[in-house]
Amino acid sequence: MKTIKGPAIFLAQFMGAQLDRQAPFDNLAHLAEWAANLGYKGIQVPADPRLVDLEQAASSQAYCDDLLGIVTDAGVEITELSTHLQGQLVAVHPAYDVLFDGFAAPHVRGNPAARTEWAIQQMKWAAKASQRLGLTSHVSFSGALAWPYFYPWPQRPVGLVEAAFDELARRWTPILDAFDEAGVDVCYELHPGEDLHDGVTFERFLAAVKNHRRANILFDPSHFVLQQLDYLAFIDIYHERIKAFHVKDAEFRPNGRQGVYGGYSGWVERAGRFRSLGDGQIDFGAIFSKMAQYDFPGWAVLEWECALKHPEDGAREGAEFIKRHIIRVAEHAFDDFAGSGADAAQLKRVLGL
């Protein structure tokens, strides 16, 4: 059995506008040092040009060695690169063109075809960059073509969903091939708003990409709580494809006015809300037990999102929370002390043979 690595932290929620302000949120070196001082052993790094130049990382081992030196000097490791924003842009329904344009480089905004090609190139660079950094997993979004039609009213035309997933597979297969060449798994965060948002949609995509071995899962139970999906049974079903893990809490408290859809409410007012670790309803003791049971090979990475708590408090508390939940797996069975040491002949006698 394997002991999960961690704790680690996803840096995306601690960047934002803060990078324009002051340390420790102003560059990779300071962020890595900040995380290490909180007790984290790993950092999941967004492929944001303020932290990582993907094109340069894909082409230059020296550049990647410099990045590795920065984080090593701070006392942490890079767990995965993240291309959530770039992956989102691999497939965008026209209804979201304006809103998602801000995720793209300025020179492709307003041109959906050019934006898609830009995103695909970014993903291929991420594959090579991950390889140069010595990583085996990569986290991303799938993008979405069918999401506006997730609820069948008006009635969906026959073949609409199938056509959407065929196109999604056409765009992603060359990317998955690039990751295969690099020896890196693509771990899709199954997330409402993406065409891959639950087990059924992941299976549909997996069939469309012909069970590509690099098409895998970033397990984040918070999104399943908000969908009212059994996140423990999900691990039982899909553990062979789970190659990354976001440790994020959530709660779902429906009432007489709203349920899973939220009624367009803000995060504080929603029935389903993301919470800091330990403040929500998720049974992380059971999750970490399942991960140990199935030999999860990767990192336990805090993704902090909370409607109420200050992010720095959530980050500080999260390191200790994950550390408490990581199970150092046993090296032998607990009852080995009582082993009989029976040989083959004795086994037959025990069975009356």
Residue 294: name the closest of 247, 212, 237, 249 by CA: 237
332 or 303: which carries more pLDDT confidence?
A: 303
pLDDT grade for 339, boundaries at 50, 70 and 90: confident
Burial tier of 179 (Cβ tally within 10 Å: 0-12, 13-18, 19+): buried
Q: Is the pTM of this model over 0.85?
A: yes
| C-alpha distance from residue 193 to each of 107, 123, 268, 320 (Å) | 25, 20, 19, 31
Q: How many CB atoms lie within 10 A of CB 181?
A: 13
Instruction: Work out the percent of the chain whose per-residue pLDDT is above 90.
Output: 89
| C-alpha distance from residue 25 to each of 15, 57, 104 (Å) | 6, 22, 22
Q: Residue 19: pLDDT above 80?
A: no
What residues make up the domain containing 287? 5-350
> Mean pLDDT throughout 297-314?
96
Which pLDDT tens digit goes with each residue over 310-330?
999 999 999 999 999 999 998
C-alpha 349/C-alpha 351 separation (Å) is 5
pLDDT at 220: 98
Residue 38: name the closest of 53, 28, 24 by CA: 24
Q: Residue 282: pLDDT above 60?
A: yes
pLDDT at 349: 87
Q: Residue 279: pLDDT above 70?
A: yes
| C-alpha distance from residue 213 to each of 131, 216, 243 (Å) | 17, 8, 11
> Mean pLDDT throughout 71-96?
98
Which pLDDT tens digit goes with each residue over 198-230?
999 999 999 999 999 999 999 999 999 999 999
Mean confidence (pLDDT) of the chain: 95
Is there a cis peptide before residue 154, judged by omega within 30 degrees of 0?
A: yes
pLDDT grade for 1, boundaries at 50, 70 and 90: confident
Output the domain CATH number for residue 327.
3.20.20.150
- Identify the three-state secondary structure at position 249: strand
Given the DSSP bridges, would you call strands 137-140 and 5-10 parallel, antiparallel or unpaired?
A: unpaired
C-alpha 78/C-alpha 288 separation (Å) is 21
C-alpha 176/C-alpha 127 separation (Å) is 9
- Identify the three-state secondary structure at position 3: coil
Residue 44: name the closest of 33, 32, 53 by CA: 32
Question: Any bridge partners for residue 10, and if so which?
Answer: 44
206 or 346: which carries more pLDDT confidence?
A: 206
Structure tokens at 263: 């009624």
pLDDT grade for 336, boundaries at 50, 70 and 90: low
> Mean pLDDT throughout 138-157?
97
Structure tokens at 304: 């902090």
Q: Residue 26: pLDDT above 70?
A: yes
Residue 302: name the closest of 247, 253, 347, 254 by CA: 247
Q: Name the domain count of the chain.
A: 1
Residue 5: name the closest of 39, 41, 33, 36 by CA: 41
The region of weakest confidence among 38-52, 232-246, 317-331, 335-349 is 335-349
> Mean pLDDT throughout 133-152?
97
Alpha-carbon radius of gyration of the chain = 22
